[in-house]
């Protein structure tokens, strides 16, 4: 796999990998929480320049799923729904915890952003959905990489 796009401003957080039709993301972190936050940042960077998204609005997000893959899917989908339904863009993601529960996993986070403003936020590519296709988690000591496809 070759790296298709590497941006210095997001060095170490995520990278976009080559893919023929969709956006293939590798999100990195020292922990699952950090990698999940960087996965969300990558998704919003596909849609706009996240450095132009202020963090004036703050809200709590909680998602639950049967396994870690479904948790990543549910997390990104919940944020995408907030964009689609309410026009919210986010640029900071504080994932407070990912806990194993009797029925699977639960994520709690605080997200920071603002409503989409076409004068302020350049439109890049629309994300239609998150997919399980080619989803992979690579866990090492103090290093987590989450690989996933965004359907555009």
- The reply to whether the predicted model has a pTM over 0.85 is yes
Q: Is 65 helix (H, G, I), strand (E, B) or coil?
A: strand
- pLDDT tens-digit series, residues 29-63: 999 999 999 999 999 999 999 999 999 999 999 99
Q: What angle do CA 128, 120, 114 make, to 5 degrees?
A: 65
Q: Which CATH superfamily is domain 3-151 in?
A: Archease domain (3.55.10.10)
Domain boundaries, the chain: 3-151
- pLDDT tens-digit series, residues 62-108: 999 999 999 999 999 999 999 999 999 999 999 999 999 999 999 99
Residue ranges of alpha helices (H) inside 4-148 are 32-47, 68-86
d(CA 137, CA 82): 25
């Amino acid at each position: 796999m070759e790296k298709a796009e590497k941006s210095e401003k997001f060095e170490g957080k995520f990278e976009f990998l080559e893919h023929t039709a969709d956006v293939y993301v590798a999100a990195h972190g020292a922990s699952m929480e950090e990698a999940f936050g960087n996965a969300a940042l990558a998704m919003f960077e596909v849609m706009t320049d996240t450095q132009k998204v202020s963090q004036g609005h703050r809200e709590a997000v909680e998602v639950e799923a049967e396994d870690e893959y479904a948790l990543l899917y549910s997390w990104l989908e919940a944020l995408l729904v907030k964009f689609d339904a309410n026009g919210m863009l986010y640029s900071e993601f504080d994932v407070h915890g990912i806990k194993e529960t009797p029925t699977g996993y639960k994520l709690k986070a605080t997200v920071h952003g603002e409503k989409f403003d076409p004068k302020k936020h350049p439109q890049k590519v629309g994300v239609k959905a998150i997919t399980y296709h080619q989803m992979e988690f690579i866990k090492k000591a103090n290093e987590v990489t989450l690989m996933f496809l965004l359907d555009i």
